[in-house]
């Protein structure tokens, strides 16, 4: 039954644990023979897994601080997708802020991010991730309600573009009423 649904999606697909961060436990599956192993890896991290169509394109993120959308970031990696290695190990991953989107795209992305954030009932600080496919269409990937706060993390990069230092960002988050 699940195989039929995956075949209906078409390869490649991403298999990932539902409640894991930092792309841990995610496998990009291009062939049916890889499926069982990928499912087992995801189940090693969570009892609930997600199987989704892999959308090839450029990855963007919008950070949310309170009720405000911060500048978009374009994430550029040489990997197949923005995986754990691209996030924490690879020195070739680039974070472009400003992202290079035109004004119309930037406004559209911010509006969509705020709408998704509010629709999901999120508050505080987080991120909404997107893919811009080869047809120039944005796809909302996920909401990150507990974003990373390292030197390579995306919320601090976007906040810095707004003139908010890391220390100021931490204080703003701590002082938010949720």
Cα(60)–Cα(165) distance, integer angstroms: 22
pLDDT score recorded for residue 90 = 84
pLDDT < 50 positions in the chain: none
> Which of 105, 112, 113, 6 is closest to 51 using CA atoms?
6
SS3 153: coil
* Whole-structure pTM value: 0.89
55 within 8 A of 149, measured Cβ to Cβ: no
pLDDT score recorded for residue 178 = 56
Over the stretch 29-72, which tens digit does the pLDDT of each residue have? Answer: 999 999 999 999 999 999 999 999 999 999 999 999 999 999 99
For the chain, domains (ranges, CATH) are 2-53 (3.30.1490.20), 57-174 (3.30.470.20)
Tell me the longest C-alpha to C-alpha distance in the chain.
Answer: 52
pLDDT score recorded for residue 107 = 97
pLDDT score recorded for residue 8 = 86
């Amino acid at each position: 039954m699940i195989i039929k649904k995956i075949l209906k999606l078409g390869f490649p697909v991403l298999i990932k644990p539902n409640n894991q961060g930092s792309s841990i436990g995610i496998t990009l599956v291009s062939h049916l023979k890889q499926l069982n192993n990928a499912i087992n890896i995801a189940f090693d991290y969570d009892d609930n897994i997600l199987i989704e169509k892999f959308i090839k394109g450029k990855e963007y993120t919008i950070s949310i601080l309170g009720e405000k959308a911060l500048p978009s970031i374009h994430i550029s990696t040489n990997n197949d997708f923005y995986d754990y290695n691209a996030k924490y190990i690879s020195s070739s991953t680039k974070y472009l802020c400003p992202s290079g989107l035109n004004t119309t795209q930037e406004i559209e992305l911010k509006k969509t991010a705020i709408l998704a954030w509010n629709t999901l009932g999120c508050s505080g600080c987080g991120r909404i991730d997107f893919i811009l496919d080869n047809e120039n269409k944005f796809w909302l990937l996920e909401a990150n309600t507990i974003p990373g706060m390292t030197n390579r993390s995306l919320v601090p990069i976007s906040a810095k573009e707004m003139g908010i230092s890391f220390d100021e960002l931490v204080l703003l988050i701590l002082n938010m009423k949720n």
